[in-house]
Every structure is written in C-alpha cells, then in structure tokens.
C-alpha cells in the first residue's frame, strides 16, 4: 500500500452500483490525489472479474448493497484468495447496521466509511485515508467512520 502515501499514482478500485456516488467519489479523489488511477465496478460480479483478470489495486472502496453479488460476498471471496487478500479494503456504504459493521470488521476490512452527506465531508474523509490518519490499525471501536457516529462502534 506504499503508493497510496507517495507521490506516485495510486491504483484505486471503487465498487458501487450508484452512478452518482461513483462520479462524486471520482471527483473528490481527483481533487485530493490527481495522479490516482481510478477503476470502477458497477456490481460485485464486475468487481471480481476486474480483480481476477486485470489488476490488483492499492486500495479498494467497496459498497455493500450491490446487485448480482453484494459487497460482503465479495469481501469474503477476496479475503479467502491468496493474492487478493493483501488488498486493503474500505467498506464504503450508507449502512450503519451493526451486523454489517461487525461482519466486515471480522472479515478484515480496514475501515468502514459511511457515505458522507456532503461533498466536502467526502473529500475530507478520503484525504484522511490517503494521509494514513484513518488507515492506521483499527480497533472495533474505531472501525466505523461516519458523520453521525464518527469513530463510534454502533
């Protein structure tokens, strides 16, 4: 994951079925990390195809509620795969369901980022991920980052 914290282009993969959310994320990321290369997947099946056949990203942002294969199914497959299991994964979802949070934490996701309510908050959160502030080893109590309950286990 060194390239995330360096001046070299980072390879980011975003899996999210919401086109507006993908566009907003890409815009925020380009403001923060203009050299980043972003690949997007519209659902879990496309995500797994990209991971198996094209490239391994430096960081994966993974929505949970997607068609064809949801984010938890993808996360489970990724962590069980020897080559893919090393990819740092940020859950990027509107959910704050304690079951979702607990399961993704247990499976090894690095962070659970609730989709922010504003563009500025999204930029701030993504910037903090890229500076490493939010990517340090997480405890269960600080796994969730949300404008409603930042750093609080729900």
Q: Where are the domains of the chain?
A: 2-145
Q: Do 67 and 43 form a contact (C-beta atoms < 8 A)?
A: yes
Q: What is the CATH number of domain 2-145?
A: 3.40.50.2300
Cα–Cα nearest to 69, from 97, 48, 96: 48
**CB proximity list for 40: less than 8 A, separation 6 or greater:** 13, 14, 15, 16, 22, 26
- Kindly report the number of other CB atoms within 10 A of residue 62's CB atom: 27
Q: Which pTM does this prediction carry? A: 0.87
Q: What is the DSSP string of 38-57?
A: EEEESSHHHHHHHHHHT---
At residue 137, the pLDDT reads 60
Q: What percent of the chain has pLDDT over 70?
A: 85
Q: Which tens digit of pLDDT belongs to each residue from 15-27?
A: 999 999 999 999 9
């Amino acid at each position: 994951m060194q390239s995330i914290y360096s001046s070299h282009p980072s390879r980011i993969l975003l899996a999210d079925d919401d086109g507006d959310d993908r566009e907003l994320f890409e815009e925020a990321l380009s403001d923060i990390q203009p050299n980043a290369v972003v690949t997007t997947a519209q659902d879990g099946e496309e995500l797994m195809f990209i991971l198996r056949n094209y490239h391994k990203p430096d960081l994966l942002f993974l929505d949970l509620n997607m068609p064809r294969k949801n984010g938890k199914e993808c996360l489970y497959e990724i962590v069980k795969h020897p080559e893919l299991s090393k990819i740092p994964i940020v859950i990027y979802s509107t959910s704050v369901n304690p079951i979702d949070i607990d399961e993704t934490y247990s499976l090894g996701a690095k962070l659970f980022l609730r989709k922010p309510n504003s563009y500025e908050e999204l930029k701030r959160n993504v910037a903090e991920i890229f500076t490493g502030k939010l990517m340090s080893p997480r405890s269960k109590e600080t796994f969730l980052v949300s404008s409603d309950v930042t750093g609080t286990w729900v």
